[in-house]
């Protein structure tokens, strides 16, 4: 699984001109699933995201997690994170999982994140045409790949 984490002052997801997710201080997580991903990848990412110390403490040092600040999270499915751009100018999405594989892993990821945080996690709608609006705070943007745990 690949995730792009953005620390946000605010973020929202709109579908068909209706806001379906809306947060203030917290994280926007764009999540891409590939066929090789497992529940173990999901669990590892949940722990990493919930405990990633990217929020400022009282000394303005990034030393607090989203859990520490009791921030919110929006999770958005993003198959384009698995785009291959090696050949030509049209990306290939062959590595991105089909919905029958991706949806259960995505749903489990959201459920595990809610358990880890002890609160509801907002989401977009899998496969929908979403408009994602965010105010990146910092900016802080981090890419995490469960297959590359360096």
- Structural domain spans, the chain: 2-145
Domain 2-145 class in CATH: alpha beta
At residue 62 the predicted structure's pLDDT band, cuts being 50, 70 and 90, is very high
How far is the C-alpha of 82 from the C-alpha of 4, rounded, in Å?
Answer: 12
Q: What token pair was written down for 35?
A: 């066929």
Residue 129 has pLDDT above 80, yes or no: yes
Longest CA pairwise span in the chain (Å): 49
What is the percent of the chain with per-residue pLDDT over 90, rounded to a whole number? 81
Is 123 assigned a catalytic role? no
Q: Measuring CA to CA, which residue among 92, 73, 81, 85 is closest to residue 34?
A: 81
Average pLDDT over residues 133-150: 93
Average pLDDT over residues 89-103: 90
Return all residues near 25 (Cβ < 8 A) that are at least 6 apart. Answer: 8, 9, 10, 69, 71, 72, 137
Q: Which of 145, 146, 35, 45 is nearest to 99 (CA)?
A: 35
Q: How confident is the model at residue 12 (pLDDT cuts 50, 70, 90)?
A: very high
Catalytic residue among 80, 85, 123, 141: 80
Confidence of residue 82 (pLDDT cuts 50, 70, 90): confident
């Amino acid at each position: 699984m690949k995730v792009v984490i953005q620390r946000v002052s605010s973020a929202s997801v709109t579908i068909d001109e209706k806001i379906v997710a809306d947060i203030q201080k917290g994280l926007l997580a764009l999540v891409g699933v590939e066929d090789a991903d497992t529940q173990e990848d999901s669990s590892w990412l949940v722990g990493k995201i919930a405990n990633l110390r990217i929020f400022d403490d009282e000394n303005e040092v990034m030393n607090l997690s989203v859990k520490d600040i009791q921030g919110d999270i929006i999770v958005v499915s993003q198959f384009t994170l698995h785009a291959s751009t090696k050949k030509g100018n049209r990306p290939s999405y062959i590595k991105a999982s089909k919905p029958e594989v991706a949806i259960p892993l995505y749903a489990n990821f959201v459920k595990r994140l809610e358990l880890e945080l002890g609160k509801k996690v907002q989401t977009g709608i899998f496969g929908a045409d979403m408009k994602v609006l965010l105010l990146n705070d910092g900016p802080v943007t981090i890419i995490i790949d469960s297959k590359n745990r360096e």
